[in-house]
């Protein structure tokens, strides 16, 4: 049986506070964005698996909650030592030389500036300034592409940074039908685009794969198989061990189909045909909206029972 006390990658949105308020933001981050307490953050770290190969800290804007970020970094160091690659995803707006020095001292080895697109306030205008800042601290900028392939990050890097943004060419291939992107009607309406089968989707969340790591996301405290997030959380990382939540889902045919990146087939074991799923996905224009409907109408995530 798989040991869920070792997981390759966790994407943790520990805050939805942000200095920006982008139209396409999938988790409604902004100046009024949701936050969790320091105590909750410490409880979540306590409940994380014993071994994690990489941890991506994201938001919201992590630097909008700098004190909490530093506490988290200290706690991760205390728990994992140098065995976990710590990556920070930031819009870069609040980054200064002094803060960069602190982040490096506290163990961050990879910086991703995820704001180089038309949606963000500065629309990439700070890129050259940031490039100079990273260079001044010896942070390597040769690895600019998003770190998609497993081989690119599951080994120890020297300091590196990269940049990207929400553009149609990016690996996500469009905005999820979530948060402000949904409200503003700028989500990708394409039932043939399977978000679930690419990194950030549900694929591999239980098992990983040859090319992509086993990755889950934790949205504040909500344990999800993917970044868009299922209709309800799979578990609460403040009070449940992540490994136990995953172990309970492992072997369940519904979640194994998500693990395969094939949510259209996830209802087969409870009598919801793939044909029906395809039809509804076509009408809803998104595989993630089909997923929402499935957990609304056919399967209860709270009781883990057929509706």
Member of 44, 87, 181, 287 binding ligand SF4 (CB under 6 A) = 287
Residue 199 CA: distances (Å) to CA of 6, 49, 65 = 19, 20, 27
**Shortest distance (Å) from residue 79 CB to ligand SF4:** 26
When the beta carbons of 80 and 179 are compared against ligand SF4, the nearer one is: 179
Binding range to ligand SF4, per CB under 6 A, among 138-146, 221-229, 272-280, 299-307:
221-229
DSSP character string of 9-66: EEEEE-B-B-S---TT-TT--BTT--B--HHHHHHHHHHS-SEEEEEEEESS-GGGGH
**Helices 127-136, 97-105: inter-axial angle, 10-degree rounding:** 50
What is the DSSP pairing of strand 235-236 with strand 299-300? unpaired
**Smallest distance from the beta carbon of 20 to ligand SF4, in angstroms?**
4
**Strand ranges inside 208-259, DSSP E:** 215-219, 222-224, 235-236
Please, what is the minimum distance in Å from the beta carbon of residue 248 to ligand SF4? 16
User: Among residue numbers 34 through 93, which ones bind ligand SF4 (CB under 6 A)?
Assistant: 59-61, 91
Q: Whole-angstrom Cα distance, residue 305 to residue 307?
A: 6
CB of 261 to ligand SF4, least distance (A): 7
Which span sits near ligand SF4 by CB under 6 A: 17-25, 66-74, 182-190, 243-251? Answer: 17-25
Does residue 202 bind ligand SF4 (CB under 6 A)? yes
If the CB atoms of residues 85 and 217 are measured against ligand SF4, the closer one turns out to be 217
Alpha-carbon torsion angle 38, 43, 49, 54, nearest 10: 0
Name the token pair of 238. Answer: 């403040």
Residue numbers 151-190 binding ligand SF4 by CB under 6 A:
none
CA 54 to chain centre: 12
Residue 206 is a binding residue for ligand SF4 (CB under 6 A):
no
230: contact with ligand SF4 by CB under 6 A: yes
288 makes contact with ligand SF4 (CB under 6 A): yes
Helices and strands (H, E) in the chain, number of each type: 9, 10
Binding site residues, ligand SF4, CB under 6 A:
18, 20-22, 25, 29-30, 59-61, 91, 115, 120, 195-196, 201-202, 225-226, 228, 230, 258, 263, 287-288, 291
């Amino acid at each position: 049986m798989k040991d869920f006390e070792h997981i390759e990658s966790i994407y943790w949105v520990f805050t939805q506070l942000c200095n920006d308020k982008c139209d396409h933001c999938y988790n409604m981050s902004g100046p009024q964005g949701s936050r969790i307490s320091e105590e909750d953050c410490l409880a979540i770290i306590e409940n994380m698996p014993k071994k994690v190969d990489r941890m991506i800290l994201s938001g919201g804007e992590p630097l909008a909650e700098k004190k909490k970020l530093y506490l988290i970094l200290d706690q991760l160091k205390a728990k994992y030592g140098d065995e976990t690659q710590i990556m920070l995803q930031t819009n870069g707006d609040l980054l200064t030389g002094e803060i960069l020095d602190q982040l490096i001292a506290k163990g961050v080895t990879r910086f991703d500036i995820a704001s180089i697109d038309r949606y963000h306030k500065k629309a990439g205008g700070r890129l050259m300034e940031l490039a100079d800042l990273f260079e001044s601290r010896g942070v390597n900028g040769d690895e600019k592409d998003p770190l998609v392939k497993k081989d690119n990050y599951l080994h120890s890097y020297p300091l590196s940074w990269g940049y990207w943004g929400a553009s149609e060419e990016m690996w996500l291939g469009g905005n999820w039908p979530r948060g402000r992107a949904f409200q503003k009607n700028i989500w990708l309406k394409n039932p043939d685009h399977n978000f679930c089968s690419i990194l950030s989707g549900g694929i591999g969340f239980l098992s990983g794969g040859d090319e992509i790591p086993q990755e889950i996301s934790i949205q504040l405290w909500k344990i999800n198989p993917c970044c868009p997030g299922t209709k309800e959380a799979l578990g609460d990382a403040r009070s449940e061990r992540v490994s136990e939540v995953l172990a309970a889902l492992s072997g369940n045919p519904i979640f194994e189909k998500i693990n395969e990146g094939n949510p259209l087939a996830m209802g087969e074991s409870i009598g919801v045909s793939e044909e029906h799923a395809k039809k509804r996905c076509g009408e809803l224009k998104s595989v993630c909206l089909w997923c929402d409907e499935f957990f609304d109408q056919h399967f209860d995530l709270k009781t883990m029972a057929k509706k």
